[in-house]
Structure 1
């Protein structure tokens, strides 16, 4: 098993006043040649947006874009006619494909925190699409909850890539083995809350650990923990 550890403090950071963002991988003005991506996981941004502020309408193309609110409410709008609010307990996905324009704004006067994740797709020039679902109503304790997959009929949202996302909400002391879904995939583990352990590596809040060249690994909660596991292909599509 191979691993790469990224402490929360080692991430890139941008402070625009209304927006504070931590970048696990190179993004915008943060460039780290050793942290451009983990397999097809291209962006993992931990964003904080002040009340009433947000990102105006801007374009994307040929990228799978996933947003997971952690606190507050985020207003979405796009040129496909979709508009609405996503909040904690939801997950949103967009396949940018041939091109989309969208905006993301804080829907209230209270701060909003959310994870924005970009996955490089396994096919380009697809028809753009949008989806959001509530994942809280099917939440589980002390188990892996699938929230994203390549399959339209599976639990969670789906994307154009052989990727699976799971949330793990573990009580202190609980542990469970995660089995890789597809050969050649790796998993980027990101601790949203609490403290976890994989092998000899302790992971504190907002730490990340990339894992590959293995079929399985054990995730243990050192404290009550909420952990996002992002399984992705390690080889970029040709």
Structure 2
């Protein structure tokens, strides 16, 4: 199998007071020219946010920003007038478009563990929009859940020819990844899996451009980014 393996230990590790984060790709103060994203996928930040702290109001534009809350509850406010709480098992998609300001604060008494994912859109300067869903793959294991994509079967609509899918595989279960002239980027949230000759653990990721089978060596949660061959 021709693949590019990105191990957990190769991610950037940033710790500053209330925030501990692992960056799959260059972000903020951590920069590595080898890790600048894959296709339209630009950011995967694995964040641990301390209690009663978080990201104050700040701007974004022309980026599809997806948040996956794994533990705890984060409180969201934005310049579109949204005030929402995103809890474990929920997902948020903020299409920044022409520009939006937002904050993400942990107002709770337990740390928040979440993934922040940025995807380049294929249209610029569109109107900003906000989407939020409940979809915890742990409640319906051993199947793909299409979290975000350009088509009607996705739970949230993204402005890019890309799909974000998630699954919880129970030990010894397997799922297929179909290439279809696309780039696959598979990120392991928790547990351990086998992809062809590669054994992967939490924080590991792999990019490949062919079909493959994922086998769970133990209960494992994964995200599959089905990406265009070019960023477009």
Bin the TM-score by the shorter chain. over 0.9
How many residues align? The count is 232
CA drift of 1:107 comes to 2.5
1:231 to 215, 226, 230: 226
Coordinate RMSD, CA, aligned: 1.4
TM-score by length of 2: 0.96
Q: Counterparts of 1:80-91 in structure 2 under 5 Å?
A: 80-91=80-91
Contact 1:38 1:234 (C-alpha < 8 Å) held by counterparts:
no
Moved segments of 4+, more than 4 Å: none
Cα distance in 1 between the residues matched to 2:217 and 2:175: 13
Query: For the structure 1 residues 193 and 138, does the alpha-carbon distance in structure 2 shift closer, same or farther, using more than 3 Å as the test?
Result: closer
Q: Counterparts of 1:1-238 in structure 2 under 5 Å?
A: 2-136=2-136, 139-151=139-151, 153-180=152-179, 183=181, 185-212=182-209, 214=210, 216-237=211-232
Give per-residue Cα distances to partners, 1:203-227, cap 9 Å, x unaligned. 0111111112x2x211110111111
Contact 1:85 1:107 (C-alpha < 8 Å) held by counterparts:
no
Cα distance in 2 between the residues matched to 1:141 and 1:205: 18
Contact 2:6 2:204 (C-alpha < 8 Å) held by counterparts:
yes
CA drift of 1:71 comes to 0.4
Contact 2:137 2:166 (C-alpha < 8 Å) held by counterparts:
no
Cα distance in 1 between the residues matched to 2:231 and 2:177: 23
Contact 2:138 2:168 (C-alpha < 8 Å) held by counterparts:
no
Structure 1 unaligned segments of length 5 or more: list them.
none
Cα distance in 1 between the residues matched to 2:11 and 2:84: 31
Contact 2:185 2:224 (C-alpha < 8 Å) held by counterparts:
yes
Structure 2 unaligned segments of length 5 or more: list them.
none
Cα distance in 1 between the residues matched to 2:72 and 2:193: 25
Contact 2:192 2:201 (C-alpha < 8 Å) held by counterparts:
yes
**SS in structure 1 at match of 2:9:** helix
